């Protein structure tokens, strides 16, 4: 899930290989450290005195631990999505008609629909990197009908949940790291990546892996948060990786609209399900209205971008 940021004055340009796409230490760490009574400043100080290589691997361990705990906490399987959602604004393309049981997750589903329906996926082999609890993969398989869809996430508990929860012909899940994908070269026609890349210590390594596992002419369907100013860096990384921009869209206003429309539901869920100690942090993490994360979207400090990218070479 999303990473936290600080006031612009505190934002440091990321040093390689540790990537801080949203400009500060992770939101996961803020939630944990608040709970354990440590301050964000203390955490930043720790970050400064830790060597870069160790920082990258601790960031990864920390992020994985965070999502493992989230999976553990959701015993009643209320959460099959973990993204901020998408809502159409006036004049946007029509939204998708859903089954009644899926309405609860409408906004999260719409984000997947916006990202994945940019291509006709029928007859294609799709890999989703950072599939989380698999709601998006299950939706794409059911509604957009690729030949196969493989969901990968490095949180083992999330993958175990996916195995139990989502069963459809052609849909499978596997544990794996975005920076070291467990697949042979040229195995997929399309890679889908929704609100996950901001967690990766090295965007470059992820993109190199995407290009490696894509067949010639294959596509990356990408949607994620970036702090203001980090979009330029992303464009450079995409170009360096050899990915051609076919479509680019700024969808932050749609994400903000989804946050507005979904705020009450998320608030009620947190109040009824989360332990009292965690509620304030989770409200922020879920970006319910008037929390600091919500404000970052409202003020434009955070952007949300969507891309259709193509690997060099003929299909």
Ligand X SMILES: C[S@@+](CC[C@H](N)C(=O)[O-])C[C@H]1O[C@@H](n2cnc3c(N)ncnc32)[C@H](O)[C@@H]1O
Shortest reach from residue 181's CB to ligand X, in Å: 9
Q: Does 139 bind ligand X (CB under 6 A)?
A: no
| Total interface residues for ligand X by CB under 6 A | 24
Separation of CA 124 from chain center: 22
Q: How many Å apart are CA 57 and CA 207, to the nearest integer?
A: 18
Q: Does 203 bind ligand X (CB under 6 A)?
A: no
Q: How many Å apart are CA 191 and CA 69, to the nearest integer?
A: 26
Quick one: which of 158, 191, 259, 308 contacts ligand X (CB under 6 A)? 158
Residue closer to ligand X, measured from CB, 11 or 115:
115
Q: How many Å apart are CA 244 and CA 227, to the nearest integer?
A: 22
Q: Does 301 bind ligand X (CB under 6 A)?
A: no
Q: How far is CA 181 from CA 56, 93, 304, in A?
A: 17, 34, 25
φ/ψ (deg, to 5) at 306: -130, 135
Shortest reach from residue 119's CB to ligand X, in Å: 18
Q: Does 303 bind ligand X (CB under 6 A)?
A: no
Residue closer to ligand X, measured from CB, 42 or 265:
265
Mark residues 32-71: x for contact with ligand X by CB under 6 A, - for none: ----------------------------x--x---x----
Q: How many CA atoms within 13 Å lie on the side-chain side of 243? A: 31
Max intra-chain CA distance, the chain = 55
Which residues of this protein are in contact with ligand X, per CB under 6 A? Answer: 1, 60, 63, 67, 81-83, 130-132, 135-136, 153-155, 158, 177-179, 194-196, 199-200
């Amino acid at each position: 899930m999303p990473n936290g940021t600080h006031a612009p004055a505190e934002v440091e340009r990321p040093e390689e290989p540790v990537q801080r796409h949203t400009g500060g230490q992770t939101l996961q760490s803020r939630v944990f450290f608040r709970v354990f009574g440590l301050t964000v400043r203390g955490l930043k100080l720790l970050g400064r005195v830790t060597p870069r290589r160790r920082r990258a691997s601790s960031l990864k361990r920390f992020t994985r631990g965070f999502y493992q705990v989230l999976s553990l906490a959701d015993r009643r399987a209320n959460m099959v999505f973990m993204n901020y959602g998408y809502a159409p604004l006036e004049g946007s393309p029509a939204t998708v008609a859903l089954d009644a049981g899926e309405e609860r997750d409408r906004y999260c589903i719409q984000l997947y629909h916006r990202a994945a329906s940019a291509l006709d996926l029928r007859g294609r082999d799709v890999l989703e990197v950072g599939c989380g609890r698999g709601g998006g993969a299950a939706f794409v398989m059911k509604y957009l009908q690729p030949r196969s869809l493989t969901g990968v996430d490095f949180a083992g508990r999330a993958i175990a949940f996916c195995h139990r929860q989502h069963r459809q012909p052609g849909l499978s899940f596997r544990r794996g790291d975005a920076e070291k994908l467990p697949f042979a070269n040229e195995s997929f026609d399309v890679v889908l990546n929704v609100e996950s890349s901001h967690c990766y210590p090295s965007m470059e390594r992820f993109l190199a892996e995407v290009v490696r596992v894509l067949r010639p002419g294959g596509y990356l369907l990408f949607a994620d948060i970036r702090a203001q100013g980090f979009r330029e860096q992303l464009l450079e990384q995409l170009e360096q990786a050899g990915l051609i921009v076919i479509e680019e869209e700024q969808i932050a206003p749609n994400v903000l609209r989804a946050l507005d429309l979904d705020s009450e539901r998320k608030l009620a869920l947190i109040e009824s399900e989360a332990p009292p100690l965690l509620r304030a942090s989770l409200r922020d993490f879920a970006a319910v209205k008037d929390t600091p994360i919500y404000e970052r979207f409202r003020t434009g400090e955070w952007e949300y971008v969507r891309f259709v990218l193509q690997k060099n070479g003929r299909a």
